[in-house]
Amino acid sequence: MPKINKVDLELVKQVEWNGNGTAFDLELQSLSDESEFMIVNPWFEDQLLHHYIDDIPKTDKCVVWQNNGNWVAKYFRNLWKPNDGYEYIELVRPHLVWRKNPDLDRTMKFEEDIFGKYIPDPYESRCELVWYIDNRFNPSEDHRVWAFKCSPVGSSTRGYKDMGDVIPDINVEFNKDLPDFGLDVWDLVPPYYHLANECYYKLDHKFAPGEDVWVVKFTPAYRKPLPSLFVGTITPELQVTYNPELPKMDYGLDDSFGITWEYLKHEHIWMLDKRHQADSEKEIWAVKVKAMKNPKKKIIVNYVSPIPKEDINPDFDSTNFSKVYKYDVPYYDFKYDHIWNLDPRYTTVTDPVWAVKLRFTEENLGDKFLGTIEPELPPLDVVFISYNEPNAEDNWARLLELVPYAQRVDGVEGILQAHKAAAKLAQSDMFFVVDGDAYIENARVFDYQPDIFDRDCTFIWHSRNPVNDLEYGYGGVKLFPRKAVIKARTWKTLDFSTTVNEKIKVIETVSNINQFNVDAVTTWRSAFRECVKLYSSGTEENLKRLEVWKSTGLQTEFGKYAIAGAYHAIDFVDDCPDELAKINDRAWLDEQFKKLNE
């Protein structure tokens, strides 16, 4: 409506109709001294209709807007005279067209019945008015979804106006067999495109094993619902209370506490196991759980014990000790660390060494020493390593006869790779290795258990040489720390046994006969390799052993090849001191045998 002065309605009401239209209009004109002004009919029923006046004609006449024969408003200029006449304009409200979003259920209705009934004000009637689905029904965060619109007919719109959100008219039903979980319905309403269905949420299966239990249903209030549609899972937020007179501890209860839906209306109580209650005059509760503010009743579910954190001395393997959970810690001692020392029989260390600590809570008040504990030391794995030794099958059968649980690695090329394969096959923290040419004489070797502080050592037993009767570590049974072998990447010495780690202990007990003298090439090869090691070491003890290799055993089977191998080893070390690593190359050794012995 154009901006123009309007005469106060109360003044207009004071002008009485006397049946003379001209006199009446002159009296109306006299109500204002303005050069131009408008008078609105105070007796016309629709007082907003004059707001639909779009413009005022350029004329000296009195402009009269009327509706169905009744005047609505009159426009005067102060120079107007009745002889100037009148210009009549019919004034009506614009006609509006309403539309629903075709993507919505065509029967959808809303809590506020606006569609087709909303009366726009004069400004709005010239705009396209748009109402949107409440965003709580719209899972998309990228856009809003319009519900319905209205637009004027016969004239162009002057823009767009957001009329806000409308809420679909739906029914909400909660399962009366379940407690009030304090759910916010507006966080659960289904998306607008499912509102024609019966939409339901079901209870988390951990509270309803093997069955579907509905929690809340949404149905349209404006139509018969389409088939049921699952839209989500409800996980009740359990209120868990721990006894404040006890420290916060883990009782091994899962997040559902084993509560099924039939009992969610009750408070569940777990009592502290009686073995922890000591001299308490009354039973002590540990945990209380409820799913609603005011439970129907209280249920004592069971007795529980806290599960302590078990720490093993990092110097030991974590599998070396038996569990000590059966220790009946009294409730007033839960805040202490409970410590067992290693039984002195299993170590050469004179000072006490802690083995196991049990901690029930982080609220540590100090330590309580509870005595000593023995390590669990199950039999160590035994692995037979063979690589084309002529007598390997006989020696393997002998080992199985004495150690039925022995395992075998066969045909893996390379000494390092064969030992790594054996380490991966073993499960114990240490494992015995028996070479393919070893005939076991003393099975008691495999009962050996190292000191708890020596389980990172390599142990070497003596073997008996069938050619020259020497007894030392060559060809004997060995005991390796499993992790060290798995981590080994290269050799640092000529002998793999001394390469795994620097901690080596020799046990001067004969474990086996080293039956290397089975044919000419095997005998020479074994002697050559061993004597290169003896000669290159330069120690007095090893040089004495080398002299025995050179001079003893000529009359034994293939003994001459053992002696020849010793002499050839000395020449090789003297002539090729930088090529000694070749003794671990079997193909090169076989070439040398042919070259030096044919």
* Domains parsed from the chain with CATH numbers: 9-90 (no CATH), 96-166 (no CATH), 170-234 (no CATH), 239-304 (no CATH), 309-373 (no CATH), 377-515 (3.90.550.10), 518-598 (no CATH)
pLDDT in tens, 385-431: 999 999 999 999 999 999 999 999 999 998 999 999 999 999 999 99
Predicted local confidence at residue 448, as pLDDT: 94
Buried b (16+ CB within 10 A) or exposed e, 542-569: beebbebbbebbeebebbbbbbbbbebb
Q: Is the model's pLDDT at 235 over the cut of 70?
A: yes
What average pLDDT does this structure show over 59-63? 93
Q: Is the model's pLDDT at 105 over the cut of 80?
A: yes
What average pLDDT does this structure show over 23-51? 90
pLDDT in tens, 290-318: 999 889 899 999 999 999 998 888 877 65
Cα dist from 403 to 338, 431, 477, 483, whole Å: 40, 13, 13, 23
Q: Is the model's pLDDT at 554 over the cut of 80?
A: yes
Q: Is the model's pLDDT at 328 over the cut of 90?
A: no
CA 286-300-304 angle, 5° bins: 40
Q: Which amino acid is at 204?
A: D
Query: Residue 161's closest CA among 131, 133, 117, 135?
Result: 131
pLDDT in tens, 241-282: 999 999 999 999 999 999 999 999 999 999 999 999 988 889
Under the banding of pLDDT at 50, 70 and 90, the label for residue 319 is: low
The two tokens of residue 302 are 């069971």
Predicted local confidence at residue 269, as pLDDT: 97
Rg for the chain, CA atoms, rounded: 51
Under the banding of pLDDT at 50, 70 and 90, the label for residue 48 is: confident
Three-state DSSP at 550 gives helix
**Helix (H) / strand (E) containing 152:** strand 146-152
- The answer, as to whether pTM is greater than 0.75, is no
Contact 580, 493 (CB under 8 A): no
Q: Is the model's pLDDT at 324 over the cut of 80?
A: no
DSSP state of 522: H
Under the banding of pLDDT at 50, 70 and 90, the label for residue 320 is: low
Q: Could you give the residue ranges of the DSSP H alpha helices within 14-164?
A: 21-29
| Residue 445, beta-bridge partner list | none
Q: Per mean pLDDT, which range of 153-162, 166-175, 267-276 is the poorest?
A: 153-162
Predicted local confidence at residue 259, as pLDDT: 94
Predicted local confidence at residue 345, as pLDDT: 82
DSSP state of 321: B
Q: Is the model's pLDDT at 155 over the cut of 80?
A: no
The residue ranking higher by pLDDT, 378 or 100, is 100
pLDDT in tens, 445-488: 999 998 888 888 999 999 999 999 999 999 999 999 999 999 98
What average pLDDT does this structure show over 157-177? 92
What average pLDDT does this structure show over 133-138? 94
Predicted local confidence at residue 317, as pLDDT: 63
Under the banding of pLDDT at 50, 70 and 90, the label for residue 154 is: low
Under the banding of pLDDT at 50, 70 and 90, the label for residue 212 is: very high
